[in-house]
Amino acid sequence: MPDEKARVYANRQRAYGLFGRDTDTVVHAHLVHDISVAAVTQTNNGTWLPRVDGLITNEPGCAITMNYADCGPIFLYDPVHHAIGLGHAGWQGAVKDLPGAMVRAMQAQFGSDPAQLIAGLGPSIGPCCYEVGEPVITAVHNAFADPDSRLIPQSSSLKPHFDLPEANRRNLARAGVRHIEQSGLCTACRTDLFYSHRAEKGKTGRFGAIFILNE
């Protein structure tokens, strides 16, 4: 049974309220595991940007938010041009290079220099828990020059584990980002802290990221 809608809205309200916001004063995204990135302002408040997995803004006070359960949250901050980006990349976003698309969108929109960006990778499913088969294995082989460093063989199983945070880190590095911090937390190991689609077999919630440039 999914959670009741009223409860979901109440919980969202509570989370946004921690930042003095509500549903109408944050910008949302309809996530589709692809690489479209949208530049937004507060005129987008209360709306769900269709089919995007990256939101960027250089408007102080503009709050961008996304929901996660195993996929990787990606945070980018440009301290020189004062701009931020928030992204969502699971294996599909990783092989299609959503992190790189975010960097390039910030370059194009705000003149960001990738070498000056500060990146953070939030909690996602880790290499300890992310057993994968096809089509992930082939997609990873096609996307990375050294796929074996991202597909870790397991002695107990024929199926390898995918290192999603390392793949997202590698995408950022490939786009020229030098400062990258990783949470090191696995959402499937730490269901005491996070929701995990994989560990909880689809019946789970989402945890949210809210990213705001100070005014």
Residues of this chain that interact with Zn ion (CB under 5 A) are 126, 128-129, 186, 188-189
Let me know the angle formed at the C-alpha of 78 by 76 and 81, rounded to the nearest 5 degrees. 145
Residue 131 CB, nearest distance to Zn ion (Å)? Answer: 11
Picking from 127, 135, 173, 174, the residue whose alpha carbon sits closest to that of residue 153 is 127
Q: Which is nearer to Zn ion, 77 or 130 (CB)?
A: 130
Residue 140 CB, nearest distance to Zn ion (Å)? Answer: 18
The structure tokens 């990606």 sit at 74
Positive or negative torsion for Cα 78, 53, 208, 58: positive
Amino acid, single-letter form, for residue 4:
E
Enumerate the β-bridge partners of residue 119.
Answer: 76, 180
Measured at CB, which residue is nearest to Zn ion?
186
Q: Which is nearer to Zn ion, 189 or 210 (CB)?
A: 189
- Token output for 170: 């590698």
Amino acid, single-letter form, for residue 204:
T
Q: Which is nearer to Zn ion, 8 or 193 (CB)?
A: 193
Residue 196 CB, nearest distance to Zn ion (Å)? Answer: 9
Residue 27 CB, nearest distance to Zn ion (Å)? Answer: 31
Residue 186 CB, nearest distance to Zn ion (Å)? Answer: 3
Picking from 120, 84, 101, the residue whose alpha carbon sits closest to that of residue 214 is 84
Q: Which is nearer to Zn ion, 20 or 184 (CB)?
A: 184
User: Phi, psi (5° rounding) for residue 141?
Assistant: -60, -40
